[in-house]
Structure 1
Amino acid sequence: MIGKVEHITRFGLFVTFSTDDTVSKKTGLMRWSALPKGHPKYQIGDLVSFEISKEHTDGKIDLTYLDEDFKSIFGQFLEETEHRLESLKAVNKDLR
């Protein structure tokens, strides 16, 4: 799965994501110990690949890091999507 880094704490990265069976967003914690040593630092807004390792009864979700390069896999798709969103914003601005 792919998620977006929303918060960075001393515990790890809080990653927001959507599952296939729901439109609502969920947030899980990827602990620092789950990230590989020497990995570049993440910033808020970065995309990260993960799998859900455990869902607790209290609603908390633990995430495990997966090593995937998003830019090489989804780079062109992300660029095209960004261009489409920008053109839609311009059209919407003209309609107001």
Structure 2
Amino acid sequence: MLELRPCCEHCAVTLAPDSLEARICSFECTFCVNCAEGLLGNVCPNCGGGFVPRPIRPARNWKGDNYLGRYPARTEPKLRPVDLEAHARLVRSLAGLEPEAR
């Protein structure tokens, strides 16, 4: 099950479970849209993959107890501010490859 992290790993802005501003990579690294698409250029600093909008877990029990009440979001932040110089080197090494080609 997807871990819903409570904030951007870089800037610590709050990302509620129903936030449309949350972006994740395939390893669930979580960043706000401003960091993911702007600052980081759609390159995850932890794995080099791309970002997609984080899905929103249903708040209501529509079926089978698969909802936020049964499977709550994480409350402890996971902060890993990005070393922007190292990230710039990573971006250059990818030479403009699209996320699906990385």
Q: What TM-score, normalized by structure 1, do the two folds share?
A: 0.31
Normalising by structure 2, we get a TM-score of 0.30
1 or 2, which has the higher helix percentage?
A: 1
Q: Which has the higher strand share?
A: 1
Greater C-alpha radius of gyration: 1
